[in-house]
Amino acid sequence: MAGGLRRALAVGLLLLSSSVWAAKKVDLDYHVRLLPQSDQAEVRLTLAQGSAVRSLDFDLGDGSLYSDFKADGQWQLTPGKQTRGVWRPAADKASLTYRVRISHGRKNGSFDTRMTPTWALMRGDDLVPPAKLDQQDGIELVSRLEFELPNGWKSVETAWPRVGKNKFRVDNVSRLFDRPTGWMLAGHLGSRRTRLGETEVTVASPRGQGMRRMDVLTLLTFVWPQVQAVYPRHPTKLLIVGANDPMWRGSLGAHESIYLNTRLPLVSESGTSAVVRELAQVFGRINDQQRSDWISEGFAEYYAIELVRRAGGMSDERYEGLQKKLARDSQKVTTLRGEQINPAQVSKAVLLLQELDREIRLKTRNKRSLDDVLRGAMHLESVDTKAFVQLADSVIGESSKVLDTELLQ
């Protein structure tokens, strides 16, 4: 018996070591040179060994952001509504270089992303567009991102771990192709940092933009124990960036990062918090599909209220006032289904989730709650309305009466 066990262990170790040895690491370096005079960034992707990758097939959207492609190897551009660019790298060290426009305007004159002579607020998702990677077997790409800043620009912030002055390690376990996603900010910046639990939190904005950095950190410190209690996974780093008008007057979460217009109150008159809502989106990372946008949007708004309330930041009176407002705003809503839902539907989704929470607590004698449904949804690669109902039923231990509603048909 002992001999058989030893043999089995030896074979297991041999297999393990061969699989460890099998993955050959190849460097993929992203170099971003910011060019404020032309409102562009020059991006260079360099593969230490081009033969490791058969092709990278980029989705360039309508193509209007990108120009001046130069490649070692083959480059094929197919323009159209969905412009594609396919790079087949040369065998040895190979680079692809292109330019990308930074400022994106909206119809109302505001900006989603912006470059000025002294700073740039941008998204990594634009710098390196999404791509399908076809690589050789047994290859692991090791990705780093480095910025070359204009003269006089002091620093750059991203949500990725810093490995040098303007250099970051990009590693996304859920993706084959590691690209530097999330909000990024460079220039003359003011930053405040703190460690909350396992997470390094940075709040940064260009100087003179009126960002209340300490207020943001104080609010996060206040709700953080509740965040830790609800969400099983916590990012190692969280970046919050802000700027004033003419940046878009809203808030938006991306990979381990949040954008916040500096004119937005940290807690609105109705009692909800944009920062906490985006935090719930970033931590939850719920990927909904099949016209089930109500799930991720509803969860984010539900926890924006709930986390502040659990932390003791909302009186019962104010909570009841908020309930009445949600009911008023959503009284005409007949369905929650849709690719993108409007604010009234979000309000209705929150009321439905609150009702579901009460049902779960009642039927499980307070042993389970909506938190358990959230964690279940986080474990799924993607979730739709049908999967959500099954998840809730399994938490309750029987069919949910609350979810048996026309709203979800």
Q: Which two tokens stand for residue 316?
A: 């019962």
pLDDT at 19: 47
pLDDT at 409: 85
Neighbours of 171 (CB within 10 A): 13
Four-point Cα dihedral 228, 315, 279, 243, nearest 10: -140
Q: What is the mean pLDDT of each run of 10 residues along the chain (409 residues)?
A: 63 54 84 97 97 95 94 93 94 96 92 96 95 91 96 95 95 83 96 95 95 95 96 92 93 94 89 92 88 91 95 92 93 89 93 96 95 93 91 94 90
Q: Which two tokens stand for residue 213?
A: 């950095």
Domain spanning 286-408, CATH architecture: Orthogonal Bundle (1.10)
CA-nearest of 43, 193, 199, 201 to 126 is 43
For 23-101+121-170, CATH number out of 1.20.1440.230, 2.40.50.140, 3.30.1520.10, 2.60.40.3650 equals 2.60.40.3650
Rounded to two decimals, the pTM is 0.89
> With contact defined as beta carbons under 8 Å apart, do 162 and 191 qualify?
no
pLDDT at 14: 57
Cα angle 196-197-202, degrees, rounded to a multiple of 5: 30
pLDDT at 338: 84
> With contact defined as beta carbons under 8 Å apart, do 76 and 89 qualify?
no
- Residue-range domain boundaries for the chain: 23-101+121-170, 286-408
pLDDT at 330: 93
Tokens 């935090």 -> residue: 279
